[in-house]
Amino acid sequence: MEKGKLYLIPTYLSSTNNGDNITNAVKNVIRTTTYYLVENIRTARRYLSSLQLGLDIETIHFEPMDKRFDEQALPALFKPLLAGVNMGILSEAGLPAIADPGNLAVRYAHEQDIEVVCLEGASSIILGLISSGLNGQQFTFHGYLPIDPVLREKKIRTMEQIALSSGYSQVFMETPYRNQQLLTALTKILKPDTVLAIGADLTGQEQYTRSKKVSVWKKTFFKLDKIPCTFSIGIY
């Protein structure tokens, strides 16, 4: 029996996005997909409904795949794929499998010789980096920084040292409600001539990008509370 395909399906990056931000190719896959692994069921249901594709949401199967996910559950969840039925993965925002557990399903799909299809969509990591003016050819994405202040400071100093010695841009993110706290920490810890770039509400109606030396950031009030952001540090 031919196996189904596992689709990596993009979602909105900004709360102000709508169906116009999603390509027709993505919508066509969603029209025919009834099984999903999702980071958050409520968000996934709301996203599919907002596309206004005439879907009967009650007939769609959603299985949670969040940070507490146990990959031992994958064999059971993959039964539709092994039976020839396509399945999709949906993240909370943007593309799945980056800074969320979707990669576990992708890895298992490869182990089972199931075709993985990545659909086109926005990535805040890439959008933030290319909007920064920093090195876009050589960079490292670190995901979320440690919450503990001591560990976070150590991580920031390590990233800065790498950026200054190698020229590699260092890209990272934070939970929106901690963005302001992170910005304060960055301006205190980083060297004055290090460049800090912030991409906020990318693809949204209020999106903006700023790329400045830390010495300038220290003199600038920038409100980031509850706004999705990506951060990049490096040198010009």
Residue 70: the pLDDT is 85
How far lies 158's CA from each of 89, 162, 184, in Å?
A: 33, 6, 17
Residue 138: the pLDDT is 97
In the chain, DSSP assigns E strands to 6-9, 35-38, 61-64, 87-90, 116-118, 139-144, 169-173, 195-200, 208-213, 229-234
Question: What does the pLDDT look like over 59-98, one tens digit per residue?
Answer: 999 999 888 888 888 999 999 999 999 999 999 999 999 8
DSSP code at position 204: S
Longest Cα separation, the chain: 64
Domains, the chain: 6-118 (3.40.1010.10), 124-234 (3.30.950.10)
What is the spatial distance between Cα 185 and Cα 177, in angstroms, rounded to a whole number? 14
What is the spatial distance between Cα 121 and Cα 119, in angstroms, rounded to a whole number? 6
Given a cut of 70, the residues of the chain with pLDDT beneath it are: none
Question: What does the pLDDT look like over 130-151, one tens digit per residue?
Answer: 999 999 999 999 999 999 999 9
Residue 69: the pLDDT is 84
